[in-house]
């Protein structure tokens, strides 16, 4: 079974390479496995923001803060 941590690592590696659309796919897969993790929502938000999809990214950041209001990593 695919581990969330592996999906996040792959997504972050793709982000580092500037492949934001591909990274977004990995973060979305991770969210299918756990929608209650604020860090996953934040990762998705960063990928969307990097793609210029600002409104969608704000929704992800807000979801992250909704889950964990004191999330210090929320962008």
pLDDT at residue 20, as a whole number: 98
Give the residue extent of every domain in the chain.
4-67
**Whole-angstrom distance, CA of residue 68 vs CA of residue 71:** 5
pTM comes to: 0.90
Percent of the chain as helix, strand, coil, to the nearest 5 = 70, 0, 30
CA nearest neighbour of 27 among 2, 10, 51 = 10
pLDDT of the chain, 75 residues: tens digit per residue? 679 999 999 999 999 999 999 999 999 999 999 999 999 999 999 999 999 999 999 999 999 999 988 756 655
Q: Quote the Cα angle for 24-56-23, to 5°.
A: 10
CATH topology classification for 4-67: 1.25.40
């Amino acid at each position: 079974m695919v581990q969330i941590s592996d999906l996040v690592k792959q997504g972050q590696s793709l982000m580092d390479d500037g492949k934001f659309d591909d990274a977004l796919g990995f973060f979305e897969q991770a969210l299918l496995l756990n929608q209650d993790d604020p860090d996953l929502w934040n990762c998705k938000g960063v990928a969307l923001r990097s793609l210029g999809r600002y409104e969608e990214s704000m929704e992800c950041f807000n979801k992250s803060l909704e889950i964990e209001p004191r999330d210090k990593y929320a962008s």
